[in-house]
Structure 1
Amino acid sequence: MSHEELYENIRKNDNEFVELFDDFAFGEVLENTSLDVRNRMIVIISSLITNHAVNPFKIMVKEALKDEILSPVELKELTYQSFPYVGFGIAFDFLEVLNNIFKENNIELPLNGQSTTTKEDRWQKGYEIQCSFFGKDQIDEMRKTSPNDQIYFQDFLSGYCFGDFYTREGLSNQDRELITFSIIATLGGCENQLRGHTAGNLMVGNDKDVLIGAVTVLCPFIGFPRTLNALAIVNEITGN
């Protein structure tokens, strides 16, 4: 995977920085993770959306398409998956950027739809996914202990976050949970949610090595404070 375009606009004036960052982010970091190139790209692009890093996002998406690391459908679904976590105000910009990249590459839009739910069954299917990831007892306890005038937030989680997004085709459960983990780790300050989605990743088959690999790849992109917080939570949840 080439990444020279990342430095095109700054190498002339900041070559010393480019050399040290490149040696770290695409040298030392990659020497210490077994995460494959596809998952590394998923982790990085998810983090770039979260940090509102539009120009690096463009470069990474073009690389993913050029090298056939991720398909147009996978890139579109990754961007959709970010909406419940970073919000419309950030994710909408990246959806527009992504569509423009597709047009530049003669990728016909709209892409084939990936939805598998209806308005009538989205909540039930989302609830079932929550239960399979986190355990029915835990989900039911969250609903039971929610104040009556706030129960609709639990409905939002089941219907929108899980029912509208996790039920979609185009990405696996492992992909979607890795995206969610990467976004929440990048956000910082969401430790309870990161604990939950660390457990969710383990449940769908992303083991500790995958999660440690994701945190390793994230480090140059999110900084050490958020990296060390995420690392501590992975170790806490996995019992190490």
Structure 2
Amino acid sequence: MGINENAKKNHDELFPGHVSILAEKDPEFIEVFDNFAFDEVLQYTSLDVIERQKVILAALIAMQCVNEFKAMMKGALNVGVTPIEVKEIVYQAVPYAGLGKVFDFLHATNEVLEERGIVLPLEGQSTTTVETRYEKGLEIVRQAAGNTVDNLLNTMPENQKHIATFLADNCFGDFFTRKGLSIQERELLIFVMLASMGGAEPQMKGHIRNNLRVGNDKQKLLDTITVLLPFIGYPRTLTALNCLNEVAPEES
């Protein structure tokens, strides 16, 4: 059968002139994977190549796939994802995947950027200070999640209330308020990370609601799941689909 022309074209857009070692040593596998991931899957999604690369990078961080991340990051830069956008995807992963998972990706990102002659650090993207992070965090969490954090602040036992405060000042105030990615992009990436890591279905449902609130409709989320399938596998894809259908049932 061989790798079809659409798959070759889409792959070459990301990796022009790349000679795959796996294509030489595992040709049958690469034939199946490339035809699926770089052609068949793309027939069922409206995400453009830049959007696709962003969500794939977020998924790879959540799954701890540092080598594939470096490869796909190079492809992302080749098609126009900016260094700041890549950095912000990595930073946004910290409050959701945790620094233990993200640490290696900070170094991997710097390594790829420096290989390309990009001087670090990049321009700062923070919009908050120690004094404003809490209020600005509450402001933006209300845009994305309604009164969810306010309810936690009002109802949690006193000895647990600091977690709700952290959601406002750290999770949203320190990270979500940054420039470089829009509120819609950040919510989509969070959905991707939660779907890809698995085991966070209650939080994923919450962020499905957030996505719908900020303008990422069900079709956008379905398109995203479709793009991720070759990289995260069927079990997590089907779990994400079940959560999506539970929160936003198909209209009869």
Q: Please give the TM-score of this superposition, normalised by the length of structure 1.
A: 0.94
Q: Please say if residues 54 and 76 of structure 2, whose CA atoms lie closer than 8 Å, have aligned partners that are also in contact.
A: no
Q: Aligned equivalents of 1:7 and 1:205: distance in 2? A: 40
Cα 1:7/1:20, change in 2 over 3 Å: farther
Q: Please say if residues 11 and 18 of structure 1, whose CA atoms lie closer than 8 Å, have aligned partners that are also in contact.
A: yes
SS at match of 2:51: helix
C-alpha RMSD of the superposition: 1.6
- The one-letter code of the counterpart of 1:143 is L
Aligned length: 238
Q: Please say if residues 5 and 59 of structure 1, whose CA atoms lie closer than 8 Å, have aligned partners that are also in contact.
A: no
**Alpha-carbon offset, residue 3 of structure 1:** 5.0
**Alpha-carbon offset, residue 220 of structure 1:** 1.0
Q: Deviations over 1:163-203 (max 9, x none)?
A: 00110011101111111110000011111101111111111
Show structure 1 runs of 5+ residues with no match: none
Cα 1:5/1:200, change in 2 over 3 Å: farther
**Which is further off, 9-18 or 52-61?**
9-18
Are 1:123 and 2:172 matched, yes or no? Answer: no
Q: Please say if residues 14 and 78 of structure 2, whose CA atoms lie closer than 8 Å, have aligned partners that are also in contact.
A: no
Q: Aligned equivalents of 1:184 and 1:7: distance in 2? A: 33
Partner residue of 1:32 out of 44, 47, 54? 44
Show structure 2 runs of 5+ residues with no match: 1-12
Are 1:13 and 2:25 matched, yes or no? Answer: yes
**Alpha-carbon offset, residue 7 of structure 1:** 8.1
Are 1:175 and 2:172 matched, yes or no? Answer: no
Cα 1:95/1:120, change in 2 over 3 Å: same
Cα 1:102/1:214, change in 2 over 3 Å: same
Q: Please say if residues 115 and 168 of structure 1, whose CA atoms lie closer than 8 Å, have aligned partners that are also in contact.
A: yes
SS at match of 1:106: coil
Q: Aligned equivalents of 1:192 and 1:53: distance in 2? A: 24
Are 1:201 and 2:222 matched, yes or no? Answer: no
Q: Please say if residues 14 and 76 of structure 2, whose CA atoms lie closer than 8 Å, have aligned partners that are also in contact.
A: no
SS at match of 1:171: coil
Are 1:43 and 2:55 matched, yes or no? Answer: yes
**Alpha-carbon offset, residue 215 of structure 1:** 0.5
Counterparts of residues 47-62 of structure 1 (less than 5 Å)? 47-62=59-74
Q: Deviations over 1:85-139 (max 9, x none)?
A: 1111121111111111111111111111000000011011111211121212x33
Moved segments of 4+, more than 4 Å: 3-7
Q: 1:102 maps to which residue?
A: 113
**Alpha-carbon offset, residue 75 of structure 1:** 0.8
Q: Aligned equivalents of 2:45 and 2:222: distance in 1? A: 8
Q: 1:75 maps to which residue?
A: 86
Are 1:135 and 2:135 matched, yes or no? Answer: no
Q: 2:4 maps to which residue?
A: none
Q: Please say if residues 194 and 203 of structure 2, whose CA atoms lie closer than 8 Å, have aligned partners that are also in contact.
A: yes
Q: 1:23 maps to which residue?
A: 35
Q: 1:237 maps to which residue?
A: 247
Are 1:222 and 2:232 matched, yes or no? Answer: yes
- The one-letter code of the counterpart of 1:112 is E
Are 1:91 and 2:131 matched, yes or no? Answer: no
SS at match of 2:21: coil
Q: Please give the TM-score of this superposition, normalised by the length of structure 2.
A: 0.90
Q: Please say if residues 14 and 79 of structure 2, whose CA atoms lie closer than 8 Å, have aligned partners that are also in contact.
A: no
Q: 2:7 maps to which residue?
A: none
